[in-house]
């Protein structure tokens, strides 16, 4: 079953090819991965983009643990961009899993490499359109766009709401209203019952 997230898809589509990194933030299980790897990827394929042009990487997957090293991640993505005449789409899920490491080329303890360095470097590749998701406090911080030096666009993804779910399940308008009324009654009953007990009713 495909869950419709048109609101978020439209935000992504209006920001395509704008030369900025698209940052999708939100709490865990809010639908960021589904939006990027399912809906957005489906859109790309439907519009003639070959799978070889879609570079997808789930960094929370143990199978991709080596790419949590910034240098390995950079090497992997650049190795996939092989044709300068084609547009590539780089989709990196849970980017906060990339660890901070010492820069091996600079003999200075303060010289660190992070995912920020990777993304800023990849943004210089003209035929690469970059999308990342993140869910922890570091990614949710308002400082994230500052770290990208005003070269990022942030979109917050929130979990599916009851109304969204009912629409996807094709619940009729009348039934939606009835379900909401019954839920409100249940909530009121749960709130009222302890009050009755305290009052000895």
Give the pLDDT confidence of 140-188 residue by residue, as tens digits: 555 666 677 678 888 877 665 655 555 655 667 777 667 666 666 666 6
Q: Is the pLDDT of residue 194 over 60?
A: no
Same domain flag for 171 and 152: no
- Burial of 114 by CB count in 10 Å (0-12 exposed, 13-18 middle, 19+ buried)? middle
Q: Indicate whether 153 and 188 sit together in one domain.
A: no
The verdict on 118 and 21 lying in the same domain is yes
Beta bridge partners of 181: none
**Residue 173 and residue 146 in one domain:** no
Q: Using one digit for the tens of pLDDT, what is the confidence trace for 25-73?
A: 877 767 788 889 999 999 999 999 999 999 999 999 999 999 999 999 9
Q: What is the extent of the structural domain holding 41?
A: 6-159
55's tokens: 């570079």
Tell me the pLDDT tens digit for each residue of 91-125: 999 998 999 999 999 988 889 999 999 999 999 99
Nearest-Å Rg of the Cα atoms of the chain is: 22
Cβ atoms 88, 129 nearer than 8 A:
yes
**Rounded-to-integer distance, Cα 104 and Cα 35, Å:** 36
Same domain, 117 and 195: no
> Which CATH number characterizes residue 24's domain?
3.40.50.300
DSSP state of 69: S
Residues 35 and 130 placed together within one structural domain of the fold: yes
- Domain presence at residue 87: yes
Nearest to 41 by CA among 22, 26, 31, 54: 54
Q: Is 1 part of a structural domain of the chain?
A: no
Q: Verify that 195 and 149 share a domain, yes or no.
A: no
Q: What is the domain count for the chain?
A: 2
Long-range pairs, 141-150, Cβ under 8 A, ≥24: 144/23, 144/25, 145/23, 147/116, 148/21, 148/23, 148/116, 148/119, 148/120, 149/120
Q: Which two tokens stand for residue 196?
A: 């009755």
**Pair 151, 170 in one domain:** no
Q: Residues 132, 183: one domain?
A: no
pLDDT classification of 195: cutoffs 50, 70, 90: very low
């Amino acid at each position: 079953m495909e869950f419709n997230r048109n609101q978020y898809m439209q935000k992504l589509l209006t920001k395509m090819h704008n030369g900025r990194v698209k940052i999708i933030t939100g709490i865990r299980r809010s639908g960021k991965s589904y939006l990027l790897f399912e809906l957005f990827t489906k859109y790309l394929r439907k519009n003639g983009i070959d799978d070889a042009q879609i570079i997808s990487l789930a960094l929370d997957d143990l199978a991709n643990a080596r790419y949590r090293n910034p240098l390995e991640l950079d090497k992997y993505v650049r190795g996939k961009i092989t044709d300068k005449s084609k547009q590539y789409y780089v989709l990196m899920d849970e980017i906060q899993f990339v660890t901070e490491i010492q820069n091996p080329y600079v003999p200075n303890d303060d010289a660190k490499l992070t995912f920020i360095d990777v993304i800023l470097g990849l943004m210089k590749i003209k035929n690469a359109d970059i999308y990342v998701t993140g869910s922890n406090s570091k990614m949710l911080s308002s400082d994230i766009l500052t770290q990208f030096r005003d070269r990022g666009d942030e979109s917050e993804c929130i979990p599916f709401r009851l109304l969204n779910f009912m629409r996807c399940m094709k619940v009729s308008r009348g039934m939606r209203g009835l379900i909401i009324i019954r839920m409100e009654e249940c909530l009121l009953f749960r709130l009222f019952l302890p009050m009755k007990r305290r009052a000895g009713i």
